[in-house]
Amino acid sequence: MSAAAVDVLVRPLVAADLAALDRMERTLFGVSAWSRQMLADELVGPGRTYVGAELPGGSLVGYAGLWFDGRDAQVMTVATDPGHQGQGIGRRMLTTLLDHARAVGAESVLLEVRVDNAPAIHLYESLGFRRLGRRRGYYQPENVDAWTMQLPLPRPARTAQEAP
Ligand SMILES: CC(C)(COP(=O)(O)OP(=O)(O)OC[C@H]1O[C@@H](n2cnc3c(N)ncnc32)[C@H](O)[C@@H]1OP(=O)(O)O)[C@@H](O)C(=O)NCCC(=O)NCCS
């Protein structure tokens, strides 16, 4: 369990969130940060679902996104403002996205994560993701490898009435 769960609202992101997103993205991802235009394109991209974590005062302190391609889902990003990490926000956002993946019938959820990103790997493994393989030099320009991870989502068993 995270030390101090904080009261946040996990809600869909909208274009009005772009300034806050852009700021957090550059703080958290440095040279690998998506540009503001890339973030804007992502929010409205096909099959994309983006959520943010909002404090009671209205500040955005986290964001996460998923792409469903009609069969599998891919975690596009997950990020929590440095001042609010370790409070259960990343887990809340990811759980919301995994619920969405189940609801749309995704067969599995995939993601890539830097091999040196221990907090993120811990979070993913605690949610049931397992390592599939290692992608050499996936993160550029830093030239850092990625783990590809997968969470299979078994389909709910059909009832006798639903069976053909
Ligand atoms: C990965 C990240 C999103 C986790 O967000 P978070 O809001 O801190 O996550 P949570 O508070 O829900 O904690 C999730 C788990 O990560 C662990 N964790 C969080 N911060 C940690 C840290 N600094 N060191 C070690 N573990 C940490 C916690 O132990 C927690 O596990 P627990 O619930 O069993 O205690 C956050 O660290 C982050 O934004 N990192 C920078 C961006 C990034 O790397 N994103 C992932 C890209 S693949």
Ligand 1 atom with the smallest distance to the CA of 87 is: 11
Does residue 4 lie in a domain region? no
Does residue 3 lie in a domain region? no
The enclosing domain of 82 has a CATH number of 3.40.630.30
Rounded to an integer, what distance in angstroms lies between the CA atom of residue 54 and that of residue 67? 22
Does residue 136 lie in a domain region? yes
Does residue 157 lie in a domain region? no
Does residue 1 lie in a domain region? no
User: Phi and psi of 103, rounded to 5°?
Assistant: -65, -35
Average confidence (pLDDT) over 141-145: 92
Does residue 77 lie in a domain region? yes
Query: Closest Cα to residue 81, out of 103, 59, 101?
Result: 59
- For residue 80, the number of C-alpha atoms closer than 13 Å in the C-beta half-sphere is 21
Choice from 32, 91, 98, 112 to test ligand 1 binding pocket (greatest atom count within 8 A of CB): 91
Active centre residues (catalytic)? 112, 124
Ligand 1 centroid to 121 CA: how many Å?
A: 8
Residue 6 binned pLDDT confidence (cut-offs 50, 70, 90): confident
Taking residue 57's Cβ as centre, other Cβ atoms within 10 Å add up to 5
Closest residue (by CA) to atom 5 of ligand 1? 90
Does residue 2 lie in a domain region? no
Q: Which residues line ligand 1 (CB under 6 A)?
A: 1-2, 28, 78-80, 85-91, 113, 117-120, 122-123, 126
Bond prior to 141 in cis (omega within 30° of 0):
yes
Choice from 74, 78, 85 to test ligand 1 binding pocket (greatest atom count within 8 A of CB): 85
Ligand 1 atom with the smallest distance to the CA of 126 is: 34
Ligand 1 atom with the smallest distance to the CA of 64 is: 3
Does residue 162 lie in a domain region? no
Taking only the tens place, the pLDDT of each residue in 25-73 is 999 998 889 999 999 999 999 999 999 999 999 999 999 999 999 999 9
Taking only the tens place, the pLDDT of each residue in 77-127 is 999 999 999 999 999 999 999 999 999 999 999 999 999 999 999 999 999
- How many structural domains is the chain composed of? 1
> Which residues form the domain of 84?
9-152
